[in-house]
Amino acid sequence: MKRYLETGNFAITQGAIIAGCRGFFGYPITPATEIAEAMSRLLPQVGGYYVQTEDETAAMHLAVGAALGGMKTMTATSGPGYILYADPYGWAIGCEIPLVVLNSQRVGPVSGITGAPGQGEFYLTRYPTQGGNFETIVLAPNSAQEAFFLTVEAFYLSERFRTPVTILADQLITDGWEDISIPETDEEKEAMGLRFAERKVHPGPEFYPPTDEIDLPPVVLGHNTGALCSDWTPTEEGYDIETVEAQHKHAYRLIYKIRNHMDLISRYETLFLDDDPEIIAVSFGTPSRVVKTAVKKAREKGVKVGMVRPITLWPFPDDLFNKKAIYLSVELNYDGQLVREVQRAAPCDSEVHFFGKCGELPTVAELHDLFDKLLKGEPLKRQGWETEAW
Amino acid sequence: MDYLAEKYLRPRKIPSTACSGCGLGVIQKALVKAIDELGYGVSDIIWGTSIGCAGRQTFATWKGDGFAGTHGRVYAIARGLRLAIPPEKKLVFTVGDGDAFGIGFNHLLHAARTNTQMTIAVCDNLGYQSTGGQFGWTTPSGVKTDSSPYGMFEPNWVRDDMDVLHILREAGATFLARHVSMDGPRLEATFKKALQNNGFSLVHVIYPCTTNFGNNALGTRRAVDIFRWIKERAAPLGEEREGVIWKTGIYYDASNSRPEFSELMREKVGEIHRRYQNEGAS
Ligand code: SF4
């Protein structure tokens, strides 16, 4: 095991290389630029390729193209670049091409504040492209160490599920300096729970069977398998077709290959859920670290509060919200995104509240004040506008 | 076409899905013939297509591996793909004028800059025909389409002083040519040269769209009329006459004069990789 005092960006590149990533395609953007820089230095050392492209649309298309040739690939960006991934993201979902995408969220909309953390792309990662009829896998780390772990995991899931996987980080995770342990031996990797899956090549001729099975190899070009892939609805062999029957089979596979294997995907952290929490604070990413401290400290004072931190954001872990409680979603946005899913998943007789900040983290004191108000049934007043609104 | 079709094309896609009288098949036939004459087999080539008539009608016609990319992005996809596939495989693309010179132009320029191996047949039906017939970036001046009802008055990119092939040459392309689909053996000969360039080759081929262009621009769907209309406006380079829009032939041939993108990448990465294997990580 090697220990470093390093950034989340560093941790992510280490995870990618350990997972077998040999192609990184990027376009400079704060706060993910350092991943591209590090990849440009590290990848050639292990025989891998770094290519800087003309824009993010190209970056992800190159990443998908190389993945379609059998390479494990990755690209990393922030919100303004992630939106330009929409086009190739859909193609990769539809053609079922494995690759890993990282989005380090900053403050939006558009370019917003470049050097501060935000969480405005919770829903965008669920619907990273147009058209619907698909399910996505999105993982959200809350530390550099976890970003390392989830990068390896993202490669693993992308291979088994034949789909792009997004790691949804934020500026503090990628830019922040932390103590990071990188395993070196196979034993250390195993002890850390890292999982690996190699790229396989689909032999054809039925590249798109109507099934929710996973572990089918993806389409790979260049192996003379007669491989076909396109942006149109495919027949089982990959020919383009315009019938609702074929489209139904295709959509069924894209949705249920993921939904029917949640046990392989779901990750979360909870606190005091079995200890009668009256309030359950919900958050992911960096703010969850403040929430965790606030919850623990409140418990020390006897406040009956618990915590849910989804690590797998999508598919959304509805099962984590089956307790009746007062839910408080703490997010780095002002419009309230995670809270909408919490309200949908929580029992109907639960109260669901929202506390949003953006560009800066909530404080423990602020959260304690909120817990207090919620228990007293007072409205959540805040500066700038009267009550919580989402 | 029987021999060529049997050897190189998928029976499921014969006959073609293009409208009857469409000139697209003639271009594809010339390209497949060139491939055959050079002795390439099905497994030597990965065939890429895109959106629009040129993409949709040629997708999955090639017996070997093939793909249809998102609109205008095959040139970007290709740069990634080339790094992962065996270096001896060739990429051959049939795309449309809107795809190459409109939505995909930025990626096309960067594919030219990097001299990435791809032989691109830009099958030009003079506008956006699969959407019913709107003007494009090569639609001749004055021509009426569904979106230029008063005649095409925007400048297009096929003019002596503003030619898309000149832009591509400046951008780094190593083989550039223009033809009309009626050029027959000359078109085949050009495709043969384009395929032998281990770099960025683009052959721009004007072809008659009988369904939409013919109807909108010329007021007829009669194939012979549209064929004649195009033919009258084309002449080999050096034999230009009054009223010629498309000068046909090879515009630029610097085949194999500079490193191909994936070859360069493999070489550089190979060097660095070996150095680090010998010395250990820095
Ligand atoms: S619309 Fe025109 S270009 Fe398209 S297939 Fe029909 S004839 Fe050919």
pLDDT tens column, B144-156? 999 999 999 999 9
pLDDT score at A386: 57
Q: Please give the torsion angle defined by the CA atoms of residues A272, A273, A279 and A284, in that order, rounded to the nearest 10 degrees.
A: 90
Which residue type occupies A114?
T
Alpha-carbon distance B268 to nearest alpha carbon in chain A (angstroms): 8
Residue B84 pLDDT > 90, yes or no? yes
Q: Which residues of B touch A238 (CB under 8 A)?
A: 60
Segments making up each domain of chain A, as ranges: 2-191, 269-376
Residue nearest (by alpha carbon) to ligand 1 atom 8: B22
pLDDT, tens digit, 9 for 90 and up, residues B184-194: 999 999 999 99
pLDDT score at B279: 82
Residues in a beta bridge with B176:
B202, B252
Which of 348-367 (A) contact B at CB < 8 A?
none
Angle at CA of residue B16, ends B15 and B21, nearest 5°: 100
Which of 182-201 (B) contact A at CB < 8 A?
none
Residue B126 pLDDT > 60, yes or no? yes
Tokens found for residue B3: 């021999």
**The three-state (H, E, C) secondary structure of chain B, written as one string:** CHHHHHHHECHHHCCCCCCCCCCHHHHHHHHHHHHHHCCCCHHHEEEEECCCHHHHHHCCCECCCEEECCCCCHHHHHHHHHHHCCCCCEEEEEEEHHHHHHHCHHHHHHHHHCCCCEEEEEEECCCECCCCCECCCCCCCCCCECCECCCCCCCCCEECCEEHHHHHHHHCCCEEEEEEHHHCHHHHHHHHHHHHCCCEEEEEEECCCCCCHHHHHHCCCCHHHHHHHHHHCEEECCCCCCCCCEEEEEEEECCCCCCCHHHHHHHHHHHHHHHHHHHCCC
Helix (H) or strand (E) holding A386: strand A385-387
Residue B58 pLDDT > 70, yes or no? yes
pLDDT score at A385: 60
The arithmetic mean of pLDDT across residues B49-59, rounded, is: 95
Q: Does B249 touch chain A (CB under 8 A)?
A: no
Q: What percent of chain A has pLDDT over 70?
A: 98
Q: From ligand 1's centre to the CA of A240, what distance in Å?
A: 17
Alpha-carbon distance B132 to nearest alpha carbon in chain A (angstroms): 18
Q: Which residues of B touch A49 (CB under 8 A)?
A: 83, 265, 269
Best of A51, A199, A231 to disrupt the B interface by mutation (most B CBs within 10 Å)? Answer: A231
CA B204 to each of CA A209, A375, B66, B93: distance values in angstroms, whole numbers, following the listed order: 38, 72, 21, 12
Residue B37 pLDDT > 80, yes or no? yes
B106·A54 Cβ contact <8 A: yes
Whether B145 and B118 have beta carbons less than 8 Å apart is answered as no
pLDDT score at A295: 98
Bridge-based pairing of strands A113-117 and A99-107 is antiparallel
Rg for chain B, CA atoms, rounded = 19
3-class DSSP assignment, residue A269: strand
Q: Does B78 touch chain A (CB under 8 A)?
A: yes
Total Cβ atoms within 10 A of residue A188: 14
CA–CA separation, A140 vs A150, rounded Å? Answer: 8
Contacts of B228 (CB under 8 A, 6+ apart): none
3-class DSSP assignment, residue A226: coil
Q: Does A25 touch chain B (CB under 8 A)?
A: yes
Q: Does B276 touch chain A (CB under 8 A)?
A: yes
pLDDT, tens digit, 9 for 90 and up, residues B220-245: 999 999 999 999 999 999 999 999 99
**Sign of the alpha-carbon dihedral angle for B102, B104, B110, B112:** negative
Q: Which residues of A touch B272 (CB under 8 A)?
A: 44-45
Bridge-based pairing of strands A2-7 and A177-182 is antiparallel
Residue B281 pLDDT > 80, yes or no? no
pLDDT score at A197: 98
Alpha-carbon distance B68 to nearest alpha carbon in chain A (angstroms): 4
Calculate the average pLDDT of chain B.
96
Using pLDDT thresholds of 50, 70 and 90, give the confidence band for residue B14.
confident
Residue nearest (by alpha carbon) to ligand 1 atom 4: B53
Which residue type occupies A241?
I
Q: Does A184 touch chain B (CB under 8 A)?
A: no
pLDDT, tens digit, 9 for 90 and up, residues B130-146: 999 999 999 999 999 99
The arithmetic mean of pLDDT across residues B2-13, rounded, is: 94
Q: From ligand 1's centre to the CA of B209, what distance in Å?
A: 5
CA A82 to each of CA A76, A175, B139: distance values in angstroms, whole numbers, following the listed order: 8, 18, 34
Q: From ligand 1's centre to the CA of B221, what distance in Å?
A: 11
Q: Does A262 touch chain B (CB under 8 A)?
A: no
A269-376 has the same fold as A2-191:
yes
On the question of a cis peptide bond just before residue A109, with omega within 30 degrees of 0, the verdict is: yes
Q: Which residues does a 6 A CB cutoff place in the pocket of ligand 1?
A: B 18-19, 22, 24, 53, 57, 125, 129-130, 209-212
> Given A43, A48, A65, which is nearest B79 (Cβ)?
A65
CA–CA separation, B143 vs B150, rounded Å? Answer: 8
Residues in a beta bridge with B203:
B121, B177
Q: Does B73 touch chain A (CB under 8 A)?
A: yes
In CATH terms, B3-281 corresponds, of 3.40.1080.10, 3.90.550.10, 3.40.50.970, 3.40.50.1240, to 3.40.50.970
Classify domain A2-191 by CATH architecture.
3-Layer(aba) Sandwich (3.40)
Which residue type occupies B19?
C
Which residue type occupies B56?
R
The arithmetic mean of pLDDT across residues B153-170, rounded, is: 96
Which atom of ligand 1 is closest in space to residue B21's alpha carbon? 7
Please list the ranges in chain A whose pLDDT falls under 50. none
Name the residue in chain A with its Cα closest to that of B263: A49
pLDDT score at A381: 73
Q: Does A275 touch chain B (CB under 8 A)?
A: no
Q: Please give the torsion angle defined by the CA atoms of residues A189, A192, A195 and A198, in that order, rounded to the nearest 10 degrees.
A: -20
Using pLDDT thresholds of 50, 70 and 90, give the confidence band for residue B2.
confident
Tokens found for residue B241: 């006459």
Classify domain A269-376 by CATH architecture.
3-Layer(aba) Sandwich (3.40)
